[in-house]
Chains A and B, each alone.
Chain A
Amino acid sequence: MMRLRALIVDDEDLARSSLRRMLTDAGGVEIVGEASNGVEALETIAELKPDVVLLDIEMPGFDGFEVAQQLENPPAIVFVTAYDEYAVRAFEANAIDYLLKPVRPERLERALARVRKRLGAPDAAKVRELREVARERGGPLQRIAARRGKRIVIVPVRDIVRIEIEDKLVFAVTANERLLIEKTITELEAMLEPAGFLRISRGELVNLETVKELLPWFSGTWRVKLANGEERDVSRDRAKQLREAMGA
């Protein structure tokens, strides 16, 4: 039997130690790390690349759903919750693994067995499914992880004016700073579209909330005027979508 590399994410010490004990007892699992909040979870998952994450839903920083929505190459995820009717309904509908607290060892073993079976499933399908469930449960993404120097910080999505690319790096521009985001613009587009962002050119996304005006520009292109006074170019093939999104 293949040894599963597992990560435990829960903000309560006792909840983590209980899971740790049960995973050890279950056998065939190597616990590669633990995280006690959403930000740590994102960092640890990116760093350790576990096969499976036992992910608590109610957590500080990012909650379990916000973490799941921001994963690019998600490991198998088993959500853990004390009581969340809506989430459970969404999990059932999408065949996502979940455990209810207090966790029973045989339920945990069953979840691990399912994880083993689905380990080879393509990433794209997993990403889609996770985002689907997260959206059903919590609506569009409210906050996103960005980097300020070495630290991961939490940026409210509504504070982001636009997303831009510079030297192949992606930045979120807020009213007073510019933060590095470790994602491709295409990933961000998929993540932020439900939150009211639109791609206006190959290298740029804008928050529709901050668009003040749409001005015709040269040869079929357009420009948008943003709330912070900036003007940005809109490529020809995106202009129609933007006009529709703005109801113009």
Chain B
Amino acid sequence: MLSIFRIRGGPVPLRELPSFLAKLVVFGAVTGPFWASFFMMFGYPEGALEIFLNPVALAWASLTGVVFALCFGTICGLGNGYLRGVLKGYPPAIMGTIYIVYNAVGCSLACALSFAIIMHLPGTGVKIEVPFLWAIVATDGIIGAILALIIGAFIKLKMQVECTQKKLSEMAVTASQAQSRALQSQINPHFFFNTLNTISALVEEDPGAAREMIGRLSDLFRYTLGCSCADAVTLGEEVQFVRDYLSIERARFRKRLRIDLPEGDLPPVRIPGLVLQPLVENAIKHGIARLIDGGSVRVRVRVEGAGERFRVSVRNTADEHALPDGAAMFRPGHALDNVRARLRIFTGEEEPLRVHRGTDWVEFSFEAPAA
């Protein structure tokens, strides 16, 4: 009911005024006979039913209803809408007082106006004693004030709920950003010390290669330090990072590691930083490193459909006996669990990281909107 008359919606725009008035007319015409019947029960109970049987009385009651609806609707209904806009930003106490006073006066006025119109309609012959009329008008004023109180309380409650919801969602965003930062994967200590060991061996064997490797390790470090995981990086940056990372692993594993990375231009999409590299590192640690003859790591990027989504996959050779089940793969604190948590924040999907496996391979993939 309230929403039909836009009580929650603030001021009624000018172009909606005709439809607002039309609604008032219909509302008054339909409910008028019921109001009349209701009030008749107090002084003339026989008439309460008769009003619906006598067409003239019914038409009369509808007309009365229309007059009342128009008076109350324009004075109180429209006024409240405009008041809300005007009073926005005032302290609740002042706002409430003005509402109550306005509605008390408005209802009294609307009531008096309605009676004045009805009494002066030609050929009606309605006569109401003046003291009784004043009593009705005063009562209406009080009812108006009470209504204003109730509606005011309702609006206040609604505003509080909205405010709490807004705060909660703001807190959730902050929490997810903090979580994202906390989840940011660091350089894996295992990888770090193994690389230092490789460099240590190269120092005497091939000083040039050692220098080269120190440079690459520094680049990796810089990337992980500079990459804030709260914001996404381009897919190209992440693939380049993977390329640098793999060049180091290649020095360790030599021929045991075969690499297949996407060549050429990549779609200009963004992904969370440090999501692809942990997947590749996982492929090496749990796939290639466990195979005596080694294997391959393949990264693929595919644009899905008409370009609105893209899919990134990392597939590696794996020992069929060593494929762990899902729960073991996503141990809390494990890199994959971390990647999954960050993709969850990024994509909003519950299971963003998909796992496919064959007899001697395993593949991780995720999809995201290209925009």
> Which A residues fall within an 8 A CB radius of B?
11-15, 17-18, 21, 36-37, 39, 58, 60-61, 82-83, 100-103, 143, 154, 156
Contacts and interface: CB of A to CB of B under 8 A. Distances in A.
14 contacts: A11-B256, A12-B197, A14-B201, A14-B251, A15-B252, A18-B200, A58-B190, A60-B289, A60-B292, A82-B190, A82-B197, A101-B194, A102-B193, A103-B200
Nearest to B204: A21
Interface string B158-182: 0000000000000000000000000
A36 B253 CA distance: 11
Interface size class of B (residues with CB under 8 A): 20 to 34
Contact of B289 (A11, A15, A156): A11
Nearest to B253: A12
Nearest to A18: B201
Interface string B189-227: 110111011111110110000000000000000000000
Contact of B290 (A60, A83, A100, A156): A60
Contact of B201 (A15, A37, A82, A83): A15
Given A37-B292, A61-B292, A82-B190, A15 B197 contact: yes
Contacts of A13: 254
Interface of B: 189-190, 192-194, 196-202, 204-205, 251-254, 256, 289-292, 321
Contacts of B291: 60
Given A102-B200, A143-B321, A156-B321, A39 B193 contact: no
A61 B321 CA distance: 11
B198 A14 contact: yes
Given A11-B289, A83-B193, A100-B193, 11 more contacts: A13-B254, A15-B252, A18-B197, A21-B201, A60-B290, A60-B292, A82-B194, A101-B193, A101-B196, A102-B193, A156-B321
Nearest to A17: B201
B54 to A, nearest CB: 90
A-B pairs with the 10 shortest C-beta distances?
A: A18-B201, A101-B197, A102-B200, A82-B193, A14-B201, A102-B197, A83-B189, A82-B194, A60-B292, A83-B190
Nearest to A159: B321
A82 B199 CA distance: 13
B127 to A, nearest CB: 99
Nearest to A38: B292
B292 A58 contact: no
B283 to A, nearest CB: 14
Contacts of A154: 321
Nearest to B191: A82
Contacts of B190: 58, 82-83
B322 to A, nearest CB: 9
Given A58-B289, A82-B193, A15 B205 contact: no
Contacts of B196: 101-102
A61 B199 CA distance: 25
Contacts of B252: 12, 14-15
Contacts of B204: 21
Nearest to A15: B197
Contacts of A58: 190, 289
A240 B253 CA distance: 51
B141 to A, nearest CB: 79
Nearest to A156: B321
A234 B292 CA distance: 40
A13 B205 CA distance: 12
Q: Kindly name the residue among A13, A61, A143 whose own CB sees the greatest number of chain B CB atoms within 10 A.
A: A13
Nearest to A36: B292
Contacts of A60: 289-292
A173 B289 CA distance: 29
Q: Kindly name the residue among B194, B196, B199, B204 whose own CB sees the greatest number of chain A CB atoms within 10 A.
A: B194
B290 to A, nearest CB: 5
Contacts of B253: 12
Contacts of A156: 321
Contacts of B201: 14-15, 17-18, 21
Contacts of A101: 193-194, 196-197, 200
A13 B202 CA distance: 11
A39 B293 CA distance: 12
Contacts of B198: 12, 14-15
